[in-house]
Structure 1
Amino acid sequence: MFESLSDKLDSALKSVTGQGRINELNIAETMREIRRALLNADVNYKVARDITDRVKEKATGDEVLQSVTPGEQLTKIVYDELTRVLGGEHVGLNMADHPPTVILVAGLQGSGKTTFVAKLAKHLRSKGHAPLLAAADVYRPAAVDQLRTLADQVGVPVYSVEDDGQIVQDAVRVADEAVAHAKQKARDVVIIDTAGRMHVDEAMMKEVADIKGAVDPNEILFVVDSMTGQDAVNTAKEFNEQLDFDGVVLTKLDGDTRGGAALSIRTVVEKPIKFASTGEKLDALSEFYPDRMAQRILGMGDVVSFVERAQEQYDEEQAQQLKQKIKSDDFDLQDFYDQLQRIQNMGSMKDLIGMIPGVGSQMKDLDLDEDAFKHIEAMILSMTPEERSNPQILNGTRRRRIAKGSGVEVRDVNQLIKQFRDMKKMMKTMSKLTGQGRSMNLKKLMGRFGGGGSNPFPG
């Protein structure tokens, strides 16, 4: 995400990197480049002007002008301003003191609203909540069926109202009854999926307002397609004037290389961005942290989010068991397969690579195949349990059978076994180094890259 903006900002900031001092001449040229980069990214022109004016004011202060590291100082100032424009601090959902928490989701048709509803349900379920989805999009053909299909994938029930097998076109009734049903079934969150339109119209706004009046939601989220740039911002502004929502959800950020909506919407609408969606998969949803997003825009990665995703896949006991297997050389192909599953559950590879400082920018043009692991999984699943536990028994006959069963060539099986052996050696070596106390302290690593919300520019 934001590749185009990141590249242009990096180029602008490099113009003062290595220079002995910042002066008014080179800062003026850098500000022109930054403003041009922001405008090319479809950032609202008033927001772009505000950012560059504030950066210039701070960059021309005596402390920065006399700095021995002007490039780092200017980067820090730009980082601070991007963080401020994106919202400053993380803002979570408004949860009810007495369940159920009612979340009303609104947005235009095609913005990814219904998919977000399912993603949010999955996210909340992972946090220990028991969501219920209310199918209040009663006009669009197959909208309820779509919601049910998505809900089945995340293991969450859907409430709808039907009469003789036909969907009752009364969204207010659906929402109202869903809340009552949640109380009866001890569901602590109700997420209401409302109808969208191709454009903002009076009928849609009235219906959403009526639902709001009937259920008194704790949280109203407006979903916008970030790829529509300033159109997304303008639509959000119209909705907010009518609905006074609590937060914004940016979808399709994985396809938005510019970032104009993300950088404009907080300032124009004056409402926080609460979630960002970066793919079609139902686990491709993240809570929005302005400081982390600013780091990624400036090519610094996002170590904290990376670690958090890893921690969701491993608990302390599992980590210790894995460490012991590696140390005792018992790590086998079944363990390898299990780790592949955990990695894939962390999200798309492109998104994960973008979180690693210094790596994302180097690999931005690499065409990563999200299905690359499937061939490896197919080969491992074509093995018997004994073969997975003892890869050394894989002779030529067994390898031919595995290749045929997984639809690959024998050379692919040979390559997998070789890579597995090489990886085992490397992991064992790293385990020995760790045992000798040579491992890097994770806290120091995270601190170095701005972990835990700390300043990514120490000193």
Structure 2
Amino acid sequence: MLDNLTQRLAKVVKTMRGEARLTEANTAEMLREVRLALLEADVALPAVREFIAKVKEKALGEEVIGSLSPGQALVGVVQRELAALMGADLGAEASQLSFAQQPPAIILMAGLQGAGKTTTVGKLAKYLKEQKKKKVLTVSADVYRPAAIAQLESVTKQVGADFFPTTAADKPVDIAHNALDWARKHYHDVLIIDTAGRLGIDEAMMKEIAEVHGAVNPVETLFVVDAMLGQDAINTAKAFNDALPLTGVVLTKLDGDSRGGAALSVRHVTGKPIKFAGVSEKLDGLEAFDPSRMANRILGMGDILALVEEARKGVDMEAAAEMANKIKSGGKFDMNDFKAQLTQMKKMGGMAGLLDKLPAQFQQAAGNANMGQADKQVRRMVGIIDSMTPAERAKPELIKATRKRRIAAGAGVQVQEVNRMLNQYEQMNTMMKKLKGGGLMKMMRGMKGMMPGLR
């Protein structure tokens, strides 16, 4: 995510931190680097100019000049202004969805074809159902794109929300009215309407979506934009903002190989907050957007809060505490426990997902390691364990040459891979033995302290 920009800015941040005193000359040099990094990332020129002007004004102010550590103070200024550029100045409430109306709260999704609107509807339905405990109904008013209705029905079923069926012969305004009527009668908390996109902006499209908007008066009108569009994203955002009373933006494909400038300039162009970011193709790959935390990630400071949230979602604390008690009371860490550890890591987004949220120095320490390959290796290790008998999982010491050959054949791997996995298990087992004296329980209590709401 925004790799190029992160690398450039992390380097500048490191230089800034090392400055014992700031002069107009070295500040100008740093701001020139920041400006180049932003322009390279496809950030809109007006947004870059405004950002640099604000940082310069504060960098040469008393707050930084009078600081005991001016380099650190300047990093703080850059972080705050970067967060403001993405909407932190609008306040924390601005990035929240509004449910301040008689149920159902209606959310209208707008954007070009290919931006990922339909998948985003499914991701949003899952988010609202699981995070906000809402009863969600989705409906497709896209009567032009082949299979659009079937696609939305499929993703809605996958996330366990309700779907209102329509046909390509129906009129979009009638679809919206009928779905709203159904949602009211069946006590849905939220109705999400997926609208038609086009390959480009046209008058007919804008007229149709404005009519749908007028018919149901949604509490949220979200503009879905592909972060990989670069400067085109800015023009599209402006056109939709002029045609519709947008309440927020959803950025998709931030995990792609994009320069990501849209993330920094779409708020500047529309004046509307970014409410969500699509960070993976999976249906749980939608994050509530936090400008300050995104600024930290862009500056190479990492996003430890997101890492803790991933752990909170992915780690089964009861199972972890059970394993801690087992080891504390002299029980053995076996292959079933090892598999559970691997599975939990996968749930937390795999190696690549975890690394993305760590500060730049940790990412650099990982060097050019292929994280996709590491995730593949984890899957293979789980496959090897699945090829073992219950007795072998409980007592790995039973696994000798003939058993290794059988396990390798069952998992479709070479015997060397089975040996490598057994070595990794032994390393983990040794570590667990060291934690036998209650150290693991202390570690678990520490994790609970980091994760509010866990008891």
What TM-score do the two structures reach when normalised by structure 1? 0.89
* Greater Cα shift, 115-124 or 359-368: 359-368
1:118 aligns with 2:122: yes
Does residue 413 (structure 1) correspond to residue 415 (structure 2)? The answer is no
CA shift at 1:137, angstroms? 1.3
Look up the match of 2:134: 129
How many Å apart are 1:144 and its aligned residue? Answer: 1.5
Shift in CA distance, 151/10, structure 1 to aligned 2, threshold 3 Å: same
Q: CA deviation at 1:438?
A: 8.5
CA distance in 1, matches of 2:183, 2:450: 44
Write the mapping of 1:272-351 to structure 2, written as runs, cut at 5 A. 272-314=273-315, 316-327=317-328, 328-351=330-353
Can you list the C-alpha shifts for 1:38-84, whole angstroms capped at 9, x where unaligned?
Answer: 11111111211111111111111244224342321111110111111
Structure 1 residues 179 and 63, CA gap change in structure 2 (3 angstroms): closer
Aligned with 2:394 (options 384, 389, 393): 389
Contact 1:233–1:261, Cα closer than 8 Å, also in 2: yes
Could you tell me how far apart the structure 1 residues matched to 2:445 and 2:337 are?
25
1:440-459 correspondence to structure 2 within 5 Å: none
Once the two structures are superposed, residues 5-51 of structure 1 have per-residue CA deviations (whole angstroms, 9 ceiling, x without a partner) of: 11222233344443331111111111111111111111111211111
Question: Aligned residue for 2:79?
Answer: 79
Q: 1:171 to 1:7 in 2, by over 3 A?
A: same
What SS does the corresponding residue of 1:105 show, helix, strand or coil? strand
Partner in structure 1 of residue 385 of structure 2: 380
Q: Which moved more, 1:402-411 or 1:150-159?
A: 150-159
Render the CA deviation track for 1:297-327: whole Å, top value 9, x for unaligned. 1111111111112112345534422322343
Q: Deviations over 1:262-317 (max 9, x none)?
A: 11111111000000111211111111001100100111111111111211234553
Say yes or no: does 1:95 pair with 2:110.
no
Conservation of the 8 A alpha-carbon contact between 2:17 and 2:75: no
Q: Residue 67 of structure 1: SS of its match in structure 2?
A: coil
Question: How far apart, in 2, do the equivalents of 1:79 and 1:101 lie?
Answer: 35
| Residue 368 (structure 1) aligns with | 371
Gaps of 5+ in 2: none
| Contact 1:295-1:302 within 8 A present in 2 as well | yes
Distance 2:175 2:441 in 1: 62
* Greater CA drift, 238-247 or 6-15: 6-15
For residues 359 and 230 of structure 1, the distance between their equivalents in structure 2, rounded to whole angstroms, comes to 31
Larger mean Cα displacement after TM superposition, 306-315 or 233-242: 306-315
Residues 335-386 of structure 1: per-residue CA shift (max 9 Å, x gap): 3323333322232532321212232344474332143322112112112223
Distance 1:404 1:178 in 2: 53
Give the RMSD, CA atoms, in angstroms.
Answer: 2.5
Tell me if structure 2 keeps the 8 A contact 1:105–1:221: yes
Deviations 1:210-247 (A, max 9, x none): 21122221211110001111211221111011111111
How big is the shift at 1:445? 8.0
Query: How do 1:209-248 residues align onto structure 2 when only pairs under 5 Å count?
Result: 209-248=210-249
Amino acid at match of 1:121: A
In the alignment, does 2:162 pair up with 1:157?
A: yes
Give, in whole Å, the separation in 1 of the partners of 2:110 and 2:24: 47
Say if 1:4 and 1:41, in contact at 8 Å, map to a contact too: yes
**1:84–1:290 Cα contact (<8 Å) kept:** yes
Question: Aligned equivalents of 1:105 and 1:364: distance in 2?
Answer: 40
Q: Is the Cα–Cα contact under 8 Å of residues 22 and 66 in structure 1 kept in the other structure?
A: no
Given residue 125 of structure 2, which amino acid in structure 1 is its aligned partner? Answer: A
Structure 1: give runs of 5+ residues left out of the alignment.
452-459
Amino acid at match of 2:406: R
Q: Could you tell which deviates more after superposition, 21-30 or 174-183? A: 174-183
Q: One-letter code of the match for 1:65?
A: I
The residue number in structure 1 matching 2:22 is 22
Aligned pair in 2 of structure 1 residues 269, 320: CA closer, same or farther (>3 Å)?
A: same
- The answer on whether the counterparts of 1:2 and 1:258 sit within 8 Å (CA) in structure 2 is yes
> Does 1:398 find its partner at 2:403?
yes
Q: Which residue of 2 aligns with 1:195?
A: 196
Contact 1:229 1:261 in 2 (8 A): yes
Instruction: Please say if residues 9 and 300 of structure 2, whose CA atoms lie closer than 8 Å, have aligned partners that are also in contact.
Output: no
Alpha-carbon distance in structure 2 between the residues aligned to 1:68 and 1:444: 33
Classify the secondary structure of the residue corresponding to 1:360.
Answer: helix
Moved more, 100-109 or 60-69: 60-69
**What residue identity is the alignment partner of 2:145?**
R
Percent of residue pairs identical: 46
1:147 equivalent in alignment to 2:152: yes
What is the rounded CA distance, in whole Å, between the counterparts of 2:344 and 2:442 in structure 1? 27
The secondary structure found in structure 1 opposite 2:333 is coil
Q: Is the 8 A contact 1:223 1:250 kept in 2?
A: yes
- Show the counterpart of 1:456: none
1:136 CA drift (Å): 1.5
1:273 maps to amino acid: I
Residues 333 and 432, structure 2, Cα contact 8 Å, conserved in 1: no
Q: CA deviation at 1:177?
A: 1.5
Q: Given that residues 225 and 233 in structure 2 are in contact (C-alpha distance below 8 angstroms), is that contact kept between their aligned partners in structure 1? A: yes
- The answer for the alignment partner of 1:457 in structure 2 is none
